[in-house]
């Protein structure tokens, strides 16, 4: 079982994303470890204390502040027996709780001018460590200076760093998942275009090349290599085409001379060579047809009725000479668009194929924008109906045909956008139908 090819887009998107996430995680881990070691043991007053204190302060008569012993305050005092604080409103009215150190006595009346401050004491027992916060309460906006429950700096750093790192990683991840695929898709747009252009490379569309515009520098050598290969293939095809055309033209003259000599020969055995010479002439014409394939194009209206009658008239002497008959049947007549000469060669090849491999009666039937050639011969087996369109393929090794007629028919009709199909005839022979021609 062949392995599924690796996706270049997946490698360019997932691997950088994984690298970014790992890098950010390691960076924050290193910063966190470094900060924790540098500040290990540092003590701060817990930031939750001012909020608990604000919830316990109310207004008394004359607007003065008073402390109500709430369950939250009682729990805070149990956790921090040395709790003390000063609370002050916006006009300087204050209320104190606990044993406020003398060093903070002068803060009363000016506390409301301060905003969020952390005060650290130099050494244990950290009795002067305090926090100043502005809090909203039932008594209005209060500025609270408090001392009580402590927390270590390392824990604060850990919590803050983890929260910040999570936010940053999430934002980085979302941004990278959106931006990275966009960048990769835009960078590979030229590669996708090349893949689409490569699908249009056909044997009958020579001169087609992959465009180098907007191609990444890493892919450009591959594109140029493919174009060089196409150049060499076109050159080889052109040499082959010229050789076939030259050989076919050179064969025409000796074939014509031999034909005259055979027709005028007195010996019956010599005249019997006429059928073999006819096969050789047909092969030369079919080789020239290969050269003409490149010229097949939409040239104008084609009258199928006139064309079929002309081919039948041209080939009638050949059929009469071999005790065969040809009949033209017009079921419907519609003009089609195409190359008159190419369509005429198609009809000629189909009739000749019916003569070589069919029976004694050939019928050419025009069906609107389609036509078919029927014979009463032995027929074509169903498993051979695709292979007969291959060049030089023969149903029987010693058959009279060259093996090129049906291949040329298929090539011409395919260039016209039509289709060739083979069916069993009611008489037991074969019907070759050309359909789907452009109108």
Question: Do the domain assignments include residue 236?
Answer: yes
278 lies in the same domain as 304? no
Question: Do the domain assignments include residue 277?
Answer: yes
Question: Do the domain assignments include residue 3?
Answer: no
Question: Do the domain assignments include residue 232?
Answer: yes
93 lies in the same domain as 232? no
Instruction: Kindly state the DSSP code that residue 437 receives in the 8-state scheme.
Output: -
Question: Do the domain assignments include residue 283?
Answer: yes
Instruction: Kindly state the DSSP code that residue 397 receives in the 8-state scheme.
Output: T
* Lowest pLDDT segment from 191-195, 376-380, 429-433: 191-195
175 lies in the same domain as 267? no
Handedness of CA 129, 133, 136, 138 (dihedral sign): positive
How many structural domains does the chain have?
4
Is the model more confident about 134 or about 218?
134
Tell me the whole-structure pTM to 2 decimals. 0.48
Question: Do the domain assignments include residue 310?
Answer: yes
* Residues of the domain holding 223: 201-208+217-295
Reported as a single tens digit per residue, the pLDDT across 91-148 is 888 889 988 888 888 888 888 788 788 888 777 888 888 888 899 988 888 998 998 8
237 lies in the same domain as 302? no
- Tell me, what CATH number does 227's domain have? 1.10.287
Where is mean pLDDT largest: 187-201, 273-287, 404-418?
404-418
Reported as a single tens digit per residue, the pLDDT across 78-90 is 888 889 999 999 8
Question: Do the domain assignments include residue 1?
Answer: no
Question: Do the domain assignments include residue 341?
Answer: yes
- Tell me, what CATH number does 408's domain have? 3.30.565.10
329 lies in the same domain as 414? yes
Percent of the chain with pLDDT over 90: 12
pLDDT for residue 1 = 46
* Lowest pLDDT segment from 390-394, 425-429, 433-437: 390-394
The confidence band for 432, taking pLDDT boundaries of 50, 70 and 90, is very high
pLDDT for residue 290 = 63
255 lies in the same domain as 337? no
358 lies in the same domain as 393? yes
* Lowest pLDDT segment from 12-21, 128-137, 214-223: 12-21
302 lies in the same domain as 288? no
Element (H, E) at 147: strand 140-147
117 lies in the same domain as 233? no
177 lies in the same domain as 265? no
DSSP character string of 309-365: HHHHHHHHHHHHHTT-EEEEEEEEE--EEE-HHHHHHHHHHHHHHHHHHS-SEEEEE
Q: Looking at the predicted structure, is the pLDDT value of residue 231 above 90?
A: no
pLDDT for residue 373 = 94
423 lies in the same domain as 332? yes
35 lies in the same domain as 160? yes
- Tell me, what CATH number does 82's domain have? 3.30.450
């Amino acid at each position: 079982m062949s392995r599924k090819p690796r996706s270049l887009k997946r490698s360019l998107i997932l691997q950088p994303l994984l690298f970014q996430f790992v890098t950010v995680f390691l960076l924050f881990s290193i910063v966190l470890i470094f900060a924790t070691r540098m500040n290990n043991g540092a003590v701060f007053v817990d930031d939750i204390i001012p909020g608990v204190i604000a919830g316990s302060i109310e207004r008394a008569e004359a607007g003065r502040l008073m402390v109500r012993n709430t369950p939250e305050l009682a729990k805070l005092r149990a956790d921090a027996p040395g709790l003390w604080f000063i609370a002050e409103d916006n006009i300087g009215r204050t209320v104190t709780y606990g044993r406020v150190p003398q060093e903070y006595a002068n803060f009363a009346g000016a506390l409301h001018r301060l905003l969020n401050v952390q005060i650290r004491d130099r050494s244990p027992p950290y009795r002067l460590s305090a926090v100043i916060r502005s809090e909203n309460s039932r008594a209005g906006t209060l500025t609270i200076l408090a001392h009580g429950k402590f927390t270590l700096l390392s824990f604060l750093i850990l919590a803050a760093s983890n929260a910040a790192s999570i936010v940053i990683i999430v934002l980085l991840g979302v941004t990278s998942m959106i931006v990275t695929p966009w960048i990769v898709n835009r960078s590979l747009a030229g590669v996708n275009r090349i893949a689409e252009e490569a699908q249009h490379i056909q044997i009958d569309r020579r001169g087609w090349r992959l465009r180098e515009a907007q191609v990444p520098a890493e892919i450009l050598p591959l594109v140029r290599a493919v174009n060089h290969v196409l150049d060499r293939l076109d050159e080889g095809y052109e040499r082959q085409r010229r050789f076939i055309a030259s050989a076919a033209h050179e064969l025409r003259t000796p074939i014509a001379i031999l034909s005259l000599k055979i027709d005028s020969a007195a010996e019956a055995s010599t005249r019997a060579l006429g059928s073999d010479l006819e096969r050789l002439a047909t092969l030369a014409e079919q080789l020239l047809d290969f050269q003409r394939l490149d010229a097949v194009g939409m040239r104008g209206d084609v009258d199928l009725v006139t064309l079929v009658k002309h081919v039948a008239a041209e080939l009638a002497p050949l059929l009469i000479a071999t005790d065969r008959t040809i009949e033209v049947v017009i079921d419907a007549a519609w003009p089609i668009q195409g190359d008159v000469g190419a369509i005429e060669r198609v009809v000629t090849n189909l009739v000749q194929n019916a003569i070589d491999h069919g029976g004694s009666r050939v019928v050419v039937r025009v069906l609107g924008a389609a036509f078919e050639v029927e014979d009463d011969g032995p027929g074509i087996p169903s498993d051979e109906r695709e292979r007969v369109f291959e060049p030089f393929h023969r149903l029987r090794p010693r058959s009279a045909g060259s093996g090129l007629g049906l291949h040329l028919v298929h090539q011409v009709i395919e260039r016209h956008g039509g289709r060739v199909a083979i069916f069993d005839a009611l008489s037991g022979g074969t019907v070759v139908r050309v359909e789907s021609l452009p109108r």
